[in-house]
Every structure is written in C-alpha cells, then in structure tokens.
C-alpha cells in the first residue's frame, strides 16, 4: 500500500534537488507531499503546502517577510511554522514519513519539523552539517542525519547517489513492519559505566515484577532524553541512580544535561528514587582538553578519550543543595538513597576517588535543605553493592504499588 512521505523543501533555490527526490520516491511506488519553505522567490514547482501557509502557522505574513528582507526573522518564523504544519499533518494521518535536505538553515527548518513528531516516526535529514555536532538539530529525537558531502545545490554525480540513498532509507522505513512488542509499564533508569552493577541489579528486580526498564547513559544527551520521555508521559517511575551530569553542569564538563536535569519527574508527579551516583566525577575528553584552572586536581584516565576529575567537597555541597531544590518540587513520591561507602566504582575504600569527606558534604547539604517529608535512607554500602541496589528497587516498587 502506498505511503505518503512529506518532503520539506526550499523550492526557490533548491527546486531541482527536490524534484529529483520527489521523482525517486514516486518511482518506488509511494506518494509525496511537498511543503515549501521558500521566502525570497517563487517555487520552482507547485508544492502541496505553500510557504505562505508555513509563515502563517509561524505567526507572520509571507509578503511582509519578503518586504522586510530580514533573513533572521524569516528563519525564526519558518522554523516555528513548519513544526506546527507538520504536527497537524501527522495528527490528521496524512503523512507516514518525512525527509528534508539543506545547509545549516535548511537543516534548522527541517529538523524543527522532525522534532515535533513522535519517536519511531520515520525521519531523514540530508544535511551539510551532519558530520559535525548535530545535538542542536537532533535534540532527544530519532532523526537520521545523512551527510550531504557536497552542498545541496544541484543534482550531480556526487549528490545524486546520496539523495537516492536517502530516498532508499526513508522508503525502507515506511515499508518496514514493526514487530509487536508486549507493552509493559516503563521505568527510566540513569546509568554510567561506574554504576553499571547497581542499574543492572535494579533492572532485573523491576523486570521480575512486570516492568520494562529503559536505561539512559548519562552523557548529557542521555539525561536530556530521560527528562523528555518523562515529560511526554511515557514513564511510570524513575530510578535516577546516576545524577553525575550535574557535576559536569557545575564544573564545565562535557556531559552536562543542562540546568533542567531532574525537573521532569518532580513536575509530572512520577514516583522516583534518587541516588547521587557518580557525582564524584566530572568528565572531559583527552587530558589536553582539561581547562588549565583544574591542573592541580585529581584525575583518572578512564580511556584515551575520557578523563575523569574528582569533584571537591564544595562542588558536592552545591549538588546537595540543587538535588534538594529539585526534589522539593515533587508532587509525587520521592526518596533519596545515600551510599556511605562511595557513589561509584572509583569512590570506594582504597580506590582512586575515595573521599568520604566530599560525599558527606553532599549528604549534609541535601539533608539540610530537603523537605522533611522526603525520606533519606543512608546505607553502609557502596552504590554498586547488591544490598543497596535491592533497597533502591524495592523502594520504587513500594511507591508504584501505592499508586
């Protein structure tokens, strides 16, 4: 059965490129719905959704945008409008996939639309910036980024096979039958290499009780994705065992998830258990990327590309205050578990980052500022001990059973 693939196109400057893609999709037996995002000139061929409609959805008049000739303002309007238009098309059941091509501006517009669509909806972006840092474009979604290699500025012997492969990718997606997966309540768990053992043990306990556990690696994007899925209503409970991204946020590490980390569960009222896992470490890339101001700190070379820096008592105290502030906003059940023999594999008696004084600074600040009705359970364990993991998982099960 033919599917409808939305193609987001700047038809005033890149008409031939998109005409080629449209033809390739139709040759594969599928329909194309072209959405024009041009502002300056008339489109090279008639789209299904005109750029005036996109501008209107973005809160502006296309003729006024053209008269003002302000590219920044036009980009803001079209980037906002395309997300509204595509979301409406999806909600109306009119599109089954989405594809776009462009430079940095085209990528901003195309991925704005794609980020408005649910996970699992086929999305392909052919982009001149796909080989760099795509975090701003992809966000926490599942956009497939395809490097265009050459500029999206005509069909030639380099671009033609790249465009054709992108069409093959999106067609393959819409023709793929998704296997049926048993739906179980979803638990989100945060993990790092240094908390693998506890998360694995908690996962096993939760799955034995009929839950499915989604594990997020706390590299910045992982924490952001966890927050996004909680905010979007996918998640039943949270095992926030690894709050290390806050160490990077405070000290300028490379794995920060931003200042909204730990907000979503509190705001949604989702049951959560919080453990200050791996707050003993700030992450940098290779040793020569560590800021000069930290040259006298304690480091551990995790691998040739990742350098860990031990946090100080002052940094830990600040995290304790932040964690209390976040948890105090909770409208649902929440509890803290504090391991008195270290918050990671490296923060354990005799290990490289062992510093009970630094850990205690966090614990004291947390307890000082935390709402009195939020339980704090201190255990004479390392974070990765089975006894500690079982207590953490069982507390979340207790919260869930009371829902």
Residues 204 and 295 in one domain: yes
| Chain Cα centroid distance, residue 327 | 21
Q: How far apart are CA 363 and CA 376, in angstroms?
A: 9
Residues 314 and 395 in one domain: yes
Q: Is residue 180 part of a domain?
A: no
Residues 127 and 198 in one domain: no
By CB atoms closer than 10 A (0-12, 13-18, 19+), residue 403 is exposed
Q: How far apart are CA 315 and CA 220, in angstroms?
A: 18
Q: Is residue 340 part of a domain?
A: yes
Residues 67 and 157 in one domain: yes
CATH, residue 226: 3.40.50.12030
Residues 122 and 208 in one domain: no
Q: How far apart are CA 245 and CA 264, in angstroms?
A: 15
State the residue for tokens 């393959």: 172
pLDDT computed for residue 403 by the predictor: 79
Q: What are phi and psi of 97, to 5 degrees?
A: -165, 170
Q: What are phi and psi of 209, to 5 degrees?
A: -100, 10
Burial per residue of 99-128, b for 16 or more beta-carbon CB atoms within 10 angstroms, e otherwise: bbbbbebbbbbbbbbbbbbeeebbbbbbbb
Give the domain-ending residue among 152, 175, 198. 175
Contacts of 24 (CB under 8 A, 6+ apart): 163, 164, 167
Residues 336 and 358 in one domain: yes
pLDDT computed for residue 14 by the predictor: 87
Domain carrying residue 370: 186-401
Give the domain-ending residue among 156, 175, 194. 175
Given a cut of 70, the residues of the chain with pLDDT beneath it are none
Q: Is residue 74 part of a domain?
A: yes
Residues 238 and 295 in one domain: yes
Q: Is residue 132 part of a domain?
A: yes
Q: Comparing C-alpha atoms, which of 51, 42, 35 is closest to residue 12? A: 42
Q: What are phi and psi of 32, to 5 degrees?
A: -125, 135
Q: Is residue 378 part of a domain?
A: yes
Q: Is residue 319 part of a domain?
A: yes
| Phi-psi map region of 304: left, alpha, beta (phi>0 left; psi -120 to 50 alpha) | alpha
Q: How far apart are CA 165 and CA 156, in angstroms?
A: 14
Residues 20 and 77 in one domain: yes
Residues 204 and 282 in one domain: yes
Residues 198 and 152 in one domain: no
CATH, residue 146: 3.40.50.12020
pLDDT computed for residue 13 by the predictor: 83
Residues 104 and 236 in one domain: no
Give the sign of the dihedral formed by CA 5, CA 11, CA 13, CA 19. positive
Domain count along the chain: 2
Give the domain-ending residue among 141, 175, 209. 175
pLDDT computed for residue 40 by the predictor: 87
Q: Is residue 181 part of a domain?
A: no
Q: Is residue 264 part of a domain?
A: yes
Residues 115 and 196 in one domain: no
Cα separation values, 155 from 30, 35, 159, 171, Å: 21, 20, 6, 20
pLDDT computed for residue 41 by the predictor: 84
């Amino acid at each position: 059965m033919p599917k409808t693939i939305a193609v987001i196109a700047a038809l005033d400057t890149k008409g031939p490129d998109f005409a080629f893609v449209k033809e390739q999709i139709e040759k594969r037996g599928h329909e194309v719905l072209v959405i024009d995002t041009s502002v300056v000139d008339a489109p090279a061929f008639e789209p299904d959704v005109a750029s005036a409609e996109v501008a209107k959805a973005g809160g502006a008049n296309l003729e006024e945008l053209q008269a003002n000739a302000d590219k920044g303002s036009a980009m803001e309007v079209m980037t906002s409008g395309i997300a509204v238009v595509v979301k409406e098309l999806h909600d109306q059941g009119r599109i089954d996939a989405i594809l776009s091509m462009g430079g940095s501006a085209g990528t901003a517009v195309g991925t704005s639309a794609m980020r408005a669509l649910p996970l699992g909806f086929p999305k392909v972006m052919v982009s001149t910036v796909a080989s760099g840092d795509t975090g701003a474009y992809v966000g926490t979604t599942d956009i497939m980024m395809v490097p265009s290699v050459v500029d999206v500025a005509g069909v030639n012997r380099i671009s033609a096979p790249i465009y054709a492969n992108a069409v093959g990718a999106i067609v393959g997606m819409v023709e793929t039958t998704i296997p049926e997966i048993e739906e179980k309540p979803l638990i989100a768990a945060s993990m790092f290499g240094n908390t693998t053992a506890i998360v694995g043990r908690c996962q096993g306990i939760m799955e034995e009780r009929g839950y499915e556990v989604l594990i997020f690696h706390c590299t910045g994007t992982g924490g952001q994705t966890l927050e996004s899925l909680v905010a979007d209503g996918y998640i039943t409970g949270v095992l926030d065992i690894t709050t290390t991204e806050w160490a990077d946020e405070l000290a300028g590490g490379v794995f920060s998830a931003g200042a909204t980390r730990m907000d979503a569960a509190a705001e949604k009222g989702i049951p959560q258990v919080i453990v200050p896992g791996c707050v003993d470490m700030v992450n940098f890339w290779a040793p020569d990327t560590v800021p000069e101001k930290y040259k006298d700190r304690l480091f551990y070379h995790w691998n040739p590309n990742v350098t860990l820096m031990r946090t100080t008592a002052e940094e830990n105290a600040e995290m304790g205050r932040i964690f209390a502030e976040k948890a105090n906003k909770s409208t649902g059940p929440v509890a803290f578990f504090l391991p008195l023999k270290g918050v990671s594999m490296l923060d354990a008696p005799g290990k490289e980052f062992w510093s009970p004084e630094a850990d205690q600074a966090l614990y004291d600040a947390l307890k000082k500022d935390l709402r009195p009705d939020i339980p704090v359970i201190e255990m004479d364990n390392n974070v990765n001990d089975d006894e500690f993991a079982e207590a953490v998982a069982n507390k979340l099960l207790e919260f869930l059973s009371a829902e």
